[in-house]
Amino acid sequence: MRYLIGVVFIVVGFGQFALRDRIARANAASNKVMYDGRFSGRKTVAASRLGSAVAAVIIVIMGILILAGVFHIG
C-alpha cells in the first residue's frame, strides 16, 4: 500500500509540474474576472508558475519519502 501511495504522489507531482503553465494562465484568467482586471498580469502569472513548481517539488519529495518508508502508512 505504501508503494502505491508513494507512486501516486510522484505521478501527481510530475503532473502538477507539467501543467504549471496551464494552471498559471487559468489563475490569471480567474483573477481578471474576480478582481476586475487586477492580479492578471505577467508578474502574477510568473508567481503562479513558481508556486505550482514549488508545490510539485514538495509533492514529489513527499512521494519519495513515502517510498523510502519515512512515514508509516498502511
pLDDT digits (tens, 9 = 90+) for 3-60: 999 999 999 999 999 999 898 888 888 888 888 878 888 888 898 899 999 999 999 9
Distance, CA of 63 to CA of 8 (rounded, Å):
7
Distance, CA of 31 to CA of 43 (rounded, Å):
13
Reading the block at residue 20, the C-alpha cell is 504549471
